[in-house]
């Protein structure tokens, strides 16, 4: 393919495709990169140049692009049954997936509700929590608590519990009011967790009897800029939710599926389970849109009735799509048979080792890691740091999108020693270039 073909596609994309999370006026200056194919951790443009997908294509990819095992599972399902509605019908891929997820929670979250994207899973968890309390006669419980700088998606309900200014500000007048409490972000110092717990207690005390659920991203608030906290925070919130009779929603859309070192990040709290877990992104290995909400017997039972209006009412056309479920089953089989979590411990160690020199680099701060998520903040980023870093990294075969002044890696689970060193060298060289430009 020629340079002309690549530029032609860029031009047509700018004319016809409205890109997400993008100011199109900037895209006209720095046009989107046409990707022709993917193989393992690498993406290839139309001129044959390659780029390491360091952010796993918005955190969805687990085992690389065009993974043969997952692809074969989808292809097999494609010839059998691509899709059937999940109301009035059921199918083996959905049932098997729900059973596998139930087993991963020791049966505690034994009921799975399906949707297609992360934001919808959040909407479902919020609606289900509210409706569950209502069915129990607790109609005042219709408020939600969320964390400062938390991210739970960008539909109107999910955005109401999202506290990331850039996504929220323009739409704020449209949104339901939620209570935003302190984040346990460990960058804010050793006292921050205690402050965050105290602030949550304050909010739950002030709104006692009115709060349906607390929603959190366990261990890492990803879109906030990889803000990390300790598992002890999870124990504290589980306790407070029990004390105040509030549902705990663990949004594991980004941190689930082995990212954090355990299959579910919440497991590291060693304090039982949340009342809801939302999953999406990695669950289908970066192939097809799928999301799920897992919940408990208690929540499920609160809807059990002959009355349709007491049932949970929420549906999407592609709910429980059979192709996406087949992909997710292949992903979970990989975890069951290939020691993925054990291998991730080793891969995370290789990343930590390779990036250790950054801890002594005066230009950066807060080098931090949780499993297969590694991040650091640049002290004096200068204007348009994220965009300049992204473009400079491309020249070094690295596809990466910093969040503000936070540079992070969330690679596919395909890191060996050579890859870890390639990633460090590319990040360090990009940093040198971008920061020397700024001065």
Ligand X SMILES: *Cc1c(COP(=O)(O)O)cnc(C)c1O
- Report if residue 403 touches ligand X, rule: CB under 6 A: no
Which range binds ligand X by CB under 6 A, 81-89, 118-126, 166-174, 311-319?
A: 118-126
H-type alpha helices, 213-265: 231-244
Would you say 117 or 267 has its CB closer to ligand X? 117
Q: What is the spatial distance between Cα 363 and Cα 183, in angstroms, rounded to a whole number?
A: 25
| Measured distance CA(145)–CA(61) in Å, rounded | 30
If the CB atoms of residues 118 and 411 are measured against ligand X, the closer one turns out to be 118
Q: Which residue is nearest to ligand X (CB)?
A: 118
- The residues in 72-111 that bind ligand X, with binding defined as CB under 6 A, are none
Query: Nearest 5 degrees, angle CA 314-CA 316-CA 317?
Result: 145
The piece of 32-40, 117-125, 225-233, 339-347 that touches ligand X (CB under 6 A) is: 117-125
- By CB under 6 A, what part of segment 238-277 binds ligand X? 251, 253-254
Nearer to ligand X, 247 or 388 (CB): 247
What Cα–Cα distance (Å) separates residue 27 from each residue in 59, 83, 261? 22, 36, 36
Interacting residues of 307 by C-beta distance below 8 A, sequence separation 6+: none
**How big is the site for ligand X, counted in residues (CB under 6 A)?**
15
122 binding ligand X? (CB under 6 A) = yes
Among 38, 64, 93, 118, binds ligand X (CB under 6 A): 118
Residue 127 tokens read as 């609606």
Q: Is 165 exposed, middle or buried (0-12, 13-18, 19+ CB in 10 A)?
A: exposed
User: For ligand X, which stretch binds (CB under 6 A), given 114-122, 298-306, 321-329, 374-382?
Assistant: 114-122
For the CB of residue 348, give the shortest distance to ligand X in the complex, in Å. 19
Q: Which is nearer to ligand X, 281 or 334 (CB)?
A: 281
Instruction: Note whether 217 binds ligand X by CB under 6 A.
Output: yes
Please give the distance of CA 323 from its chain centroid, rounded to a whole number: 21
Rank residues 221 and 369 by Cβ distance to ligand X and give the closer one.
Answer: 221
56 makes contact with ligand X (CB under 6 A): no
Q: Which is nearer to ligand X, 93 or 150 (CB)?
A: 150
Q: Are strands 211-216 and 276-279 parallel, antiparallel or unpaired?
A: unpaired
Nearest to 331 by CA among 64, 53, 41: 64
Find out whether 83 is annotated in a ligand binding site. Answer: no
Counting Cβ atoms within 10 Å, is residue 173 exposed (0-12), middle (13-18) or buried (19+)? Answer: exposed
Which CB atom, from 59 or from 422, has the smaller least distance to ligand X?
59
Is residue 293 close enough to count as binding ligand X by CB under 6 A?
no
Decide: is 199 part of the binding site for ligand X (CB under 6 A): no
Residue 316 annotated as binding site: yes
For residue 383, report the phi and psi dihedrals to the nearest 5 degrees: -70, 145
CA distance 223 to 168: 13
**Could you tell me if 204 and 246 are in contact, meaning their C-beta atoms sit under 8 angstroms apart?**
yes
Positions that interact with ligand X (CB under 6 A): 117-119, 122, 151-153, 217, 222-223, 251, 253-254, 280-281
């Amino acid at each position: 393919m020629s340079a002309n073909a690549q530029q032609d596609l860029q031009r047509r994309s700018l004319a016809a495709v409205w890109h997400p999370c993008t100011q199109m006026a900037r895209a006209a200056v720095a046009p989107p990169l046409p990707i022709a194919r993917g193989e393992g951790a690498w993406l290839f443009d139309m001129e044959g140049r390659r780029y390491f997908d360091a952010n796993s294509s918005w955190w969805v990819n687990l085992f690389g692009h065009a993974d043969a095992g997952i692809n074969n599972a989808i292809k097999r399902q494609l010839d059998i049954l691509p899709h059937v509605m999940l109301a009035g019908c059921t199918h083996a891929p959905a049932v098997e997936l729900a059973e596998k997820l139930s087993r991963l929670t020791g049966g505690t979250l034994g009921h799975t509700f399906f949707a297609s994207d992360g934001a919808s899973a959040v909407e479902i968890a919020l609606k289900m929590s509210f409706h569950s309390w209502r069915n129990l006669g607790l109609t005042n419980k219709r408020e939600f608590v969320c964390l400062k700088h938390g991210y739970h998606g960008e539909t109107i309900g999910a955005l109401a519990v999202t506290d990331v200014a850039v996504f929220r500000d323009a739409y704020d007048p449209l949104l339901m009011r939620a209570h935003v409490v302190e984040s346990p972000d460990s960058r804010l110092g050793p006292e921050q967790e205690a402050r965050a717990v105290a602030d949550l207690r304050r909010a739950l005390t002030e709104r006692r009897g009115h709060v349906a659920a607390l929603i959190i991203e366990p261990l890492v608030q990803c879109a906030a800029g990889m803000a990390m906290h300790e598992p002890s925070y999870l124990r504290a919130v589980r306790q407070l939710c029990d004390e105040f009779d509030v549902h705990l929603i663990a949004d594991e859309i980004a941190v689930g599926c082995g990212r954090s070192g355990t299959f579910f990040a919440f497991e590291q709290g060693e304090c039982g389970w949340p009342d809801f877990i939302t999953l999406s992104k990695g669950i289908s290995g970066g192939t097809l849109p799928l999301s799920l909400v897992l919940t408990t017997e208690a929540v499920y039972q609160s809807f059990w009735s002959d009355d349709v209006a007491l049932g949970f009412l929420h549906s999407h056309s592609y709910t429980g799509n059979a192709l996406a479920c087949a992909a997710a089953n292949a992903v979970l089989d990989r975890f069951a048979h290939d020691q993925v979590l054990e291998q991730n411990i080793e891969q995370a160690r290789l990343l930590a080792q390779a990036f250790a020199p950054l801890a002594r680099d005066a230009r950066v701060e807060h080098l931090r890691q949780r499993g297969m998520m590694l991040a650091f903040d640049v002290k004096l980023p200068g204007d348009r740091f994220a965009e300049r870093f992204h473009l400079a990294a491309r020249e070094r075969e690295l596809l990466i999108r910093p969040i503000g002044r936070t540079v992070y890696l969330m690679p596919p689970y395909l890191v060996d020693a050579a890859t870890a060193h390639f990633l460090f060298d590319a990040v360090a060289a990009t940093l040198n270039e971008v920061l020397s430009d700024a001065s």
